[in-house]
Every structure is written in structure tokens, then in C-alpha cells.
Homo-oligomer: A and B are copies of this chain.
Amino acid sequence: MIKMYDLAGADKNRRFSPYCWRIRMALAHKRLNVECMPWHFTEKDKIKFSGQERVPVLIDGSNTISDSWEIAKYLESAYPDRPSLKLDNGEVLFIKFWSETVLHPELLQMLVLDIHDNLSLEDQSYFRESREKMLGKTLEEVVANRQEQLPRIQKLLTPLRSTLSKQEYLSGETPGFSDYIVFGAFQWARCVSGFSILNADDIVYKWRDKMLNIYEGLALSAVGYRV
């Protein structure tokens, strides 16, 4: 069976990496089973064989692939007869970079302390040190006024909201990897934080709800918060 190293919290069933969630959803899309092995930030040694220090790392027989984009491409080429992730749509790459450079940083500013609080003790000190250095503030200072940041994130979601008001999924009438990329960010939030980012009357919330429920509620049943 395919195996994947998956970022976990102190509770090893709390799996919250947005990059790992993309792949969990992509595997389900392709009807491929996977054994997800919990991995913690400070367990660099465990994945050293992959030649780098981040998850997801996918192991499929004799193949080891890291980086979520490379994994998605691998799945497309190794399982061409399974439902397509629609990676041939060039615009998916734009969605990827929009998610990673616009949406993720904005969410991180709201979630960073909740992420910390859900980590194992060893990971907590690593995480605090590296993130405080990156953000130039204590984690507590970063999230202090997150309520006031909500209008900014609502505005930033405008292209997503407008798209979903015209069609069922980002990828069109059926979901594709672009949906899993953006959903991964919201699932990241949901798995670590009870802070409510989306309003229930938002079409983005409704789309996220569909994503939570597909594949027999794979994402809905994950350890997380009911937001």
C-alpha cells in the first residue's frame, strides 16, 4: 500500500499540514488507499532518506517522492487510468502560488499560536523559535488582533468567492487538484483552531462543506474543530 509521512500534533491523530491535506484528497480522488504515518517537525531524521526535511513524503513501492506538487504529478503519471487531477490545466499552478503566497501567510497570522499549542512539547520549542524569527514577533503578538484581520482575509477571498458563485468547484463542475490546494489551507485552519474564519452564509463556506463531505467525509472526520 502507498505510505505517506503526515505532519501530526501532540495528539498523533491531529494531522494539519495544508500540503499533506492536498495529497490526502488527491489520493482519495484517485481511489488510492494510503497509510498515513504521523511525523513531527523535529523528526527530520525519519525522512532523511527522502533527501529533504519536509512532509508530505510519499512512498509507493520503490518510489519515494517529496513536495506536494511533485507528488500530484507523480500520481497523475503513475495512475493515468484513475480520475484525473486536472493538472494539465496550466492555471492550477497560479492557484497553487496564490494559495501559498497570499492565502497561507494571511491564515498563518491567525493560526500560528493555535498551531503551536497543538504541537508536542519538543516541536513547540522548535516551532516557536523558527516562527518568531520569521515573523519578527512573539506568537502571542502575531495573533493578538486576529479578529481585526478578518475583513482583510474576507477581501482577499474575493476571486475565490466570485468563482464559486459561478461554478461548483474551482476546477469546474467536478473537483480537481486546485480545489484540494485551496481546501488544504482551510482544513489546516480547521484542524488546529476553533477560530472562525468563514461565515456560514459565505459561498466559500458552502464549498468547503462540500469538500469536507466528499470521499465519505474523509476531511470532516479528521481530528479538528467544528468551525
Q: List residues of chain A with CB under 8 Å of any chain B CB.
A: 86, 88-95, 97-98, 101-102, 158-160, 162-163, 166-167, 169-173, 176, 178
Contact = CB atoms under 8 A, between A and B. Distances in A.
A172 B94 CA distance: 10
Copies per assembly? 2
Chain A binding surface SS class: helix
Given A89-B172, A101-B158, A102-B158, 16 more contacts: A86-B89, A89-B90, A90-B163, A90-B171, A90-B176, A91-B95, A91-B178, A93-B162, A93-B166, A94-B159, A94-B163, A94-B178, A97-B160, A97-B162, A97-B163, A98-B159
Nearest to A99: B159
A169 B90 contact: yes
Contacts of A158: 97, 101-102
B159 A101 contact: yes
Contacts of A173: 90
Nearest to A94: B163
11 contacts: A86-B89, A90-B163, A90-B167, A91-B170, A91-B171, A94-B98, A94-B163, A97-B158, A98-B98, A101-B159, A102-B159
